[in-house]
Amino acid sequence: MKCDSFQFQFTVVGGRVEGGAEEWTLEGGWDAAAQIPTEYVLMSAYPNPFNAQTSIQFGLPEAGNVNLTIYNLMGQKVAILVDGHKDAGHHTVAWDGANYSSGIYFYRLTVPTESGSSTGDQVFIKRMTLLK
For residues 131 and 102, is the Cβ–Cβ distance under 8 A?
Answer: yes
Q: Using the 8-state DSSP alphabet, how is residue 22 labeled?
A: G
Domains, the chain, in order of start with CATH, read 37-130 (2.60.40.2550)
pTM of the model: 0.71
- The per-residue pLDDT for range 58-84, each reduced to its tens digit, is 999 989 899 999 999 999 999 999 999
Nearest to 106 by CA among 85, 122, 82, 127: 127
- The per-residue pLDDT for range 34-58, each reduced to its tens digit, is 578 889 999 999 999 999 899 999 9
